[in-house]
Amino acid sequence: MSGKRYPEEFKIEAVKQVVDRGYSVASVATRLDITTHSLYAWIKKYGPDSSTNKEESDAQAEIRRLQKELKRVTDERDILKKPRRTSQSCPTEVRLYP
């Protein structure tokens, strides 16, 4: 007798119900008619510490780093685009006669 085979999307959704939405393993397993042992194995495979989430985390960190760099470069560009303010007490032209 072999066990049921579930699609990967089904497994990931079951894990999300436990990890993201806060449902208990027992309640999710009962609702989906699966064993708690299977659900724990899926959590280990697809949960927050899995290698796929590590790759996503690395990608998100890279996105944040690039967004910060873009903001810094944009701010530098905007500073250079602003016209210089000149003070009335320090005119740019030198008057030779009062």
Residue 88 forms part of a structural domain: no
pLDDT at residue 82, as a whole number: 81
The token duo for 50 is 């899995």
Q: Which domain holds residue 31?
A: 8-75
Domain count, the chain: 1
Residue at 62 is within a domain: yes
pTM of the predicted protein model: 0.49
Q: Tell me, what's the pLDDT at 87?
A: 57
pLDDT of residue 49: 73
d(CA 46, CA 18): 11
Cα angle, residue 80 at apex, residues 76 and 85 outer, rounded to 5°: 130
Q: What is the CATH number of the domain that holds 47?
A: 1.10.10
Instruction: State residue 1's pLDDT score.
Output: 40
pLDDT at 66: 95
Residues of the chain with pLDDT under 50: 1
At residue 4, the pLDDT reads: 81
